[in-house]
Chains A and B, each alone.
Chain A
Amino acid sequence: MVKEFIYKSHNANYTKQIAKFFAKNFISKYGKNIIFLKGDLGSGKTTFVRYCLNYLGIDDENFEGSPTFTIVNEYDNDIIHMDLYRLKNQSEIEYSGILDYFNKDNGIFFIEWPELLNMKPSFELTFTILNDTSRKINVCRC
């Protein structure tokens, strides 16, 4: 099985196609999908999740936006969009209570800024800014 895919996107529309392909072919309908999204501010993590959710049946009207401040945005069908950007260390993760969300056998977890999380993801996506409009997206099956 190929473990790593590298995409270069030069516009939002192409990123949308990549996200759709990822959601369609890589995310499993059963079991637990833990998807880490890494990359600098403005590299396109939230936008990528938004496009994945669009494919999974959550249109823009129902998309709750970036979870940076809310930390967790929950959707139907056990879809969770998390962002640990504001959590600074292990004890903040622990006391925030977000680990409880993982006590499930299935679900789709999109996690931005996952560096502090001690768990093995199903996929790790890394976003790199190439220039003002282009991004490299590295998809790694873990």
Chain B
Amino acid sequence: MILAFDTSCDDTSVALLKNKNYVNLISSQNDIHGKFGGIMPEYAARSHTETIAYLTKEALEKLNASMSDIEYIATTVGPGLLPSLLVGVSFAKALAYSYSLPIIPINHIEGHIFAPFFGKKLEFPFMALVVSGGHTHLFLIEGIGRYKIIAKTLDDAVGEAFDKVARILDLGYPGGPIIDKLSKTGESDRFNIPKGLGGKKNLNFSFSGTKTAVKNLVNNHSNLSTTDKIDIAASFQKSSIDVLWEKTKDACRENGVNKIAVSGGVSANSYLREMFATECKKEGFELFLPRREMTTDNALMIANIAQFKKSRATYDYFSVEANPRLKIVNYNR
């Protein structure tokens, strides 16, 4: 059984995985507020410290397991915010030391990349599109540890653009799910929102201009009705997701790949899911999407990739260190 931690950013997450048996606890999604006698701060490294031991205990209870069932401890070591990362890494090391267990250090992004294959057979090569609040990246994945960066955003991540556009349109927080929901009733062809670096040969992304286009629309039209706002949101969503598809498709063609795995918080977007599925069918591509609980930051995806990295397990706990700048290193073919 693998016990996994992820504290790379806002959420504390703890997971247990053995064969098909698993539990995946995420602080923002679990009703743990009551246990602390108040509302947890939306963002706080302190909350990781307070939450991680409690979630670990709860995870073990849920699977009717104890620490003696654990064979490996996996933890995100980067990239992320250092103070947050340190909580997960230190807790993992302390537990490993106390119970003499090996640690498997995991790159958070690597966790996302393989999340769509959870419970499925891995198939290489594939194009991984990682889309979240902090990332908009395309990677060519040829095997475990054999990765190549194909493209990334030059400014805002797509999930960040969703949140900021929701703020500009005064639709509320979190922006991603709200825009997703409202867009279903909106007219996505009504406003022309430019695609960042769309139509260019360059596979890199840019969402800063897309966000600013929405800002300009709002600045130039006083008295926008709710319908107008919903139509703007729908038009923005279509423009952003369409450009993700176009570049992913081009990246696949250029690299002779016919499998696509989309992950990260934005992979929960329903327009993205439907549109990618339809287009992949047309192109003859195979699409892999994560189950919804594995789209946002979670520890199950860390346990999932750890299964394939058991050879990296170590008892040299001093070698396991938090690294906020941890990169996916290009593999040389």
A interface residue numbers (CB < 8 A to B): 40-42, 46-47, 50, 60, 63, 65-66, 68-72, 74, 86-88, 91-92, 95-98, 100, 129, 132
Contacts and interface: CB of A to CB of B under 8 A. Distances in A.
A74 B219 CA distance: 34
Nearest to B153: A65
B152 A69 contact: no
B290 to A, nearest CB: 19
A97 B82 contact: yes
Contacts of B214: 42
8 contacts: A42-B164, A50-B154, A66-B156, A68-B134, A68-B164, A88-B42, A97-B45, A132-B216
A95 B9 contact: no
Contacts of B80: 70
B112 to A, nearest CB: 13
Contacts of A42: 164, 168, 208, 211-212, 214-216
A47 B208 contact: yes
A74 B163 CA distance: 23
A139 B162 CA distance: 30
Given A47-B208, A71-B81, A96 B154 contact: no
A132 B46 CA distance: 41
Contacts of B216: 42, 132
B325 interface: yes
A41 B154 contact: no
A72 B155 contact: no
Interface residues of B, number: 41
A98 B324 CA distance: 12
* Residue of A46, A50, A68 contacting most chain B CB atoms (<10 Å): A68
A70 B325 CA distance: 11
Contact of A46 (B45, B155, B204, B219): B155
Contacts of B44: 91-92, 95-96
A47 B132 CA distance: 20
Given A42-B215, A74-B325, A129-B219, A69 B42 contact: no
A69 B83 contact: no
Contacts of B208: 42, 46-47, 66
B211 A69 contact: no
A86 B325 contact: no
B43 A86 contact: yes
A70 B215 contact: no
A41 B41 contact: no
Contacts of A70: 9, 79-81, 134
Interface string B8-49: 010000000000000000000000000000000111111100
A65 B45 contact: no
Interface in B134-175: 134, 136, 152-157, 159-160, 163-164, 167-168
A50 B155 contact: yes
Contacts of A71: 9, 81
Nearest to B156: A66
Contacts of B154: 50, 60, 63, 65
B125 interface: no
Contacts of B83: 96-98, 100
B164 A41 contact: yes
Closest 8 A/B residue pairs (Cβ): A97-B83, A69-B133, A69-B134, A42-B212, A42-B215, A95-B44, A95-B46, A132-B216
Nearest to A101: B82
Given A46-B156, A65-B153, A96-B81, A72 B324 contact: yes
A72 B156 contact: no
B160 A92 contact: no
Contacts of A91: 41, 44
Given A87-B43, A96-B81, A66 B160 contact: yes
B184 to A, nearest CB: 25
A129 B215 contact: yes
A70 to B, nearest CB: 5
A121 B136 CA distance: 31
A42 B154 CA distance: 15
Given A47-B208, A96-B84, A97-B83, 8 more contacts: A42-B215, A60-B154, A63-B154, A65-B155, A66-B156, A69-B160, A72-B82, A96-B83
A129 B153 CA distance: 23
* Residue of A91, A95, A100, A129 contacting most chain B CB atoms (<10 Å): A95
